[in-house]
């Protein structure tokens, strides 16, 4: 029999119930995953501030990109109905956004809020107020407010301008060279977007290179971008004139990661995940799985709209082993650490993850939540100040767990539940729709007895 996968709903939330059949199961077939969330956000934003028409194929239809589209629509951008086939945006050029008559609500999306702030701060003499849900209102915004203030922005917010809601009065910004204390694509992108309308060169230097989707897309839209990998620096020259482009969004490797791990840990599995973006700044997950001894292959490698893409074939890997993950690889797999923690439970030996304190200020404290929830299922996970220590080879038992309204936690626990005995109930599982609207349907599709 196939696994029992049931969702129950109340007025407040949704519970996902998973029971592995006693006869076992495997994952088989080929699947396509949703479009890359990072690229989807950036395509919507740049299309809104570029002159002419931008078309987007393969847009992620999750809640986060919808928040981005709604915000920019409130500022006058003409965005067609969102769908995966084709989205059209009619932009009006730089400095073109209108002062909105309402508050801009970023929902649960830190990418929407932080990147958008760089654009808003550069729209002189226009006033904006941005907010988000309860989770986003507790996440640190000082990391982008500080450099924007150095550029001459005027921003006001709670707790000394560190928390939303935030009010922004746009200014003519000046270029800066900002040395970011953390490797963060959101911080880097915010500053680069602000620098689009500053006179001169705006540079961001990071302790390690973060994902480079903004640099690639800004260059495609016509901005002058230079990258110095030796110093982990990126420079944009302003003022820049952006022109509408055709954007094809590849599948999100962060979404692919759930299936790569699931196939690796479930006996008899052979699965192909098609059309996955394999941008080198995002493939830390593949390097980590290789270190753990997972059997996978990149097939049909190609370039699509400037982004490297491949199909990934993965099969069950019973000889997985623990590994150490720290340093420069962490920014390239930061979003995949929750599902890597699940993989580590099924690996022999100990896996140690360090330098990942950034996970404490995501949609949830992902280090604390993954440690407590996996331990509830019988794992041996020790929470470290900046990471996790996981002793592999334990047997998981189904129980009640909670996503804490974090999409990556919800999906990671669902994959863990596939290999647990008994019944697992994942509360607030609706969070998965933020980045993967059809996750549960795909789960049912690929499971075979």
Active site residues: 335
3-state secondary structure labels for all residues of the chain: CCCEEEEEECCCCEEEEEECCCCCCEEEEEEECCECHHHHHHHHHHHHHCEEEEEEECCCCCHHHHHHHHHHHHCCCEECCCCCCCEEEEEECCCCCCCCCCCEECCCCHHHHHHHHHHHHCCCCCEEEEECCCCHHHCCCHHHHHHHHHCCCEEEEHHHHCEEEEEEECCCCCCCEEECCCCCHHHHHHHHHHHCCCCEEEEEECCCCCCCHHHHHHHHCCCEEEEECCCCEEEEEECCCCECCEEECCECHHHHHHHHHHHHHCCCCEEEEEEEECCCCCCHHHHHHHHCCCEEEEEEEEEECCEEEEEEEEECCCCCECCEECHHHHHHCHHHHHHHHHHHHCCECEEEECCCHHHHHCCCCHHHHHHHHHHHCCCEEEEECCEEEEECCCCCECCEEECCCCHHHHHHHHHHHHCCECEEEEECHHHHHHCCCCHHHHHHHHEEC
Are 232 and 283 in contact, with CB atoms under 8 Å apart? no
Are 331 and 186 in contact, with CB atoms under 8 Å apart? no
Which tokens sit at 141?
């915004």
Q: Please confirm whether the linkage preceding 387 is cis (ω < 30° from 0).
A: no
């Amino acid at each position: 029999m196939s696994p029992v996968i049931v969702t129950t709903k109340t007025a407040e939330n949704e519970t996902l119930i998973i029971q592995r059949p006693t006869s076992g199961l495997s994952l088989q077939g080929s699947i396509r995953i949703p479009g890359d969330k990072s690229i989807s956000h950036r395509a919507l934003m740049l299309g809104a501030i570029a002159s002419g028409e931008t078309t987007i194929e393969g847009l992620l239809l999750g809640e986060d990109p919808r928040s981005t589209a709604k915000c920019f629509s409130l500022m006058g951008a003409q965005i067609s109905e969102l769908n995966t086939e084709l989205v059209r945006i009619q932009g009006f050029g730089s400095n073109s956004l209108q002062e909105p008559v309402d508050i801009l609500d970023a929902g649960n999306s830190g990418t929407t809020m932080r990147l958008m702030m760089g654009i808003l701060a550069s729209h002189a003499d226009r006033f904006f107020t941005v907010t988000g849900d309860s989770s986003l209102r507790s996440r640190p915004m000082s990391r982008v407010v500080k450099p924007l203030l150095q550029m001459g922005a005027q921003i006001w917010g709670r707790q000394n301008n560190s928390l939303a809601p935030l009010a922004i009065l746009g200014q003519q910004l000046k270029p800066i060279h900002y040395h970011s204390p953390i490797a963060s694509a959101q911080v880097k992108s915010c500053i680069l977007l602000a620098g689009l309308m500053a006179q001169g060169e705006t540079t961001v230097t990071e302790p390690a290179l973060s994902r480079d989707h903004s640099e690639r897309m800004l260059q495609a839209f016509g901005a002058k971008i230079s990258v110095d990998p030796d110093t982990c620096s990126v420079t944009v020259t302003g003022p820049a004139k952006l022109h509408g482009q055709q954007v094809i969004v590849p599948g999100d490797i962060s979404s692919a990661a759930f299936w790569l791990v699931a196939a690796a840990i479930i006996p008899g599995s052979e699965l192909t995940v098609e059309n996955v973006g394999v941008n080198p700044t995002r493939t830390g997950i593949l390097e980590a799985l290789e270190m753990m001894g997972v059997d996978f292959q990149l097939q049909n490698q190609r370039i699509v709209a400037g982004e490297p893409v491949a199909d990934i074939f993965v099969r069950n890997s019973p000889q997985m082993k623990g590994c150490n993950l720290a340093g420069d690889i962490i920014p390239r797999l930061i979003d995949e650490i929750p599902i890597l923690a699940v993989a580590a439970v099924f690996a022999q030996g100990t896996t140690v993850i360090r330098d990942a304190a950034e996970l404490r200020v995501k949609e949830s404290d992902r280090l604390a939540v993954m440690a407590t929830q996996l331990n509830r299922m019988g794992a041996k996970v020790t929470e470290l100040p900046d990471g996790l220590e996981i002793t592999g080879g334990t047997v998981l038992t189904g129980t009640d767990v909670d996503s804490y309204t974090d999409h990556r936690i919800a999906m990671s626990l669902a994959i863990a539940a596939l290999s647990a005995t008994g019944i697992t109930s994942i509360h607030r599982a609706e969070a998965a729709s933020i980045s993967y609207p059809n996750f549960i349907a795909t789960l049912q599709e690929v499971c075979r007895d």
